[in-house]
A = this chain, B = another copy of it.
Amino acid sequence: MKKILLAIAAIVPFMAVAQDADPFSNIDELIKNTRAAETNIPGAEFPRTDSHNRVYFHYKSPNTQALTVDICSKKFEMKKDADGFFNVVTDSLPVGFHYYFLIADGISVIDPLTTTYFGCSRVAGGIEIPEGKEGDYYRPAKVPHGQVRSVQYFSETQQKFRRAMVYTPAEYETSGDKRYPVLYLQHGMGEDETGWSTQGFMQNIMDNQIAAGNVVPMIVVMDNGDVAEGFNPAKGGMNEFGASFYDVIIKDLIPMIDKTFRTKTDRDNRAMAGLSWGGFQTFNTVFNNPEVFSYAGAFSGAIFGLNTKTAYNGIFNDKDFNKKFHYFFLGCGSEENFGTENLVKQLRECGADAQFYLSEGTAHEWLTWRRCFNQFIPHLFK
């Protein structure tokens, strides 16, 4: 390991002092007025954020011709100085979590200074842009903490081992024979079963809401929706993408969870929700199996061209829909265009009591989904 350590120092954050007005001309001053991103690896001083939610990137790489930061779908070309340092300050970025990449002489790579996350169908860099008081709901607080458990199981359907991440509430450890309702919670396209507990901070949101008495203690199951590779029309239509998950959840996952954990196993105590493609998978799972679930949520759901009158055997026109489904939630960000509001309108025209939540100022991003989750969970199992 020692030998490897010597070989990896090609990009190093470094301090230097110069005279011009460029913020990087006085690195000590820059460091004093900004803070290292909480998503950095231990000891990494850059990237840093300032009070305007701008991000400062700073690398030494003399042999590189061009270095660009690719963040929030926007590219920021870095300026190289005579000593081989690359610097750039971004615009003010939306608060919350964003994937990002570096493009080094044409190759899109991961910043060696960042913690990594599975997103965008690959391993990606990530940065948490701090926000003000709002963020308290997703930060850890001095309340009883639940656990996020990695649970390995053999899928008979797929004849392979799979992994589910399972949140259990703090009281689960000491509540004896008490049984709990279960929420199945799905990530989006290009992400995996780790998304909600790393990018989403779902465990902090649950812990805080349960401690505040707003949310019923529940188990939350996050599995891989088989959409990590990203949608490829050459491999089939939208309905095929991630379709392998439908048998897994019904035939393998739910039975394994009900066998392993102290769950309540009736439909009144089972919910499902998902973000983006996971929202589409939630619709397909819940409304094709109404005997299994009684709550549904789609956060920026990738639900396009749904004929609400005929879909799922006309379930949304069922006069008993609002009795059968205790809470039906759709949310999205005001800055994205996923057609959620229009879908809600159509669902309501059918008679389905779809609740709508608009996340102000956010796009197709994790802050939208943290907010949606926070809005959704108080309505479950009451």
Interface residues of A (CB under 8 A from B): 1-5, 7-11, 41-43, 61-65, 70, 73, 75, 99, 101-110, 112-116, 118-123, 140, 142, 145, 147-154, 161, 166, 173, 188-190, 197, 203, 228-230, 260-261, 276, 364
Contacts and interface: CB of A to CB of B under 8 A. Distances in A.
30 contacts: A1-B188, A1-B276, A1-B364, A2-B364, A4-B99, A7-B70, A7-B75, A7-B101, A7-B108, A10-B107, A11-B108, A41-B121, A41-B123, A61-B106, A63-B105, A102-B109, A104-B105, A105-B105, A107-B109, A109-B109, A110-B112, A110-B116, A113-B122, A116-B123, A140-B152, A140-B161, A145-B152, A148-B150, A149-B150, A173-B260
A119 B2 CA distance: 11
B61 A107 contact: yes
A374 B112 CA distance: 33
Nearest to A230: B5
B5 A121 contact: yes
Contacts of A120: 1, 4-5, 8
Nearest to A154: B142
So how many copies of this chain end up in the complex? 2
A4 B100 CA distance: 9
Contacts of A2: 364
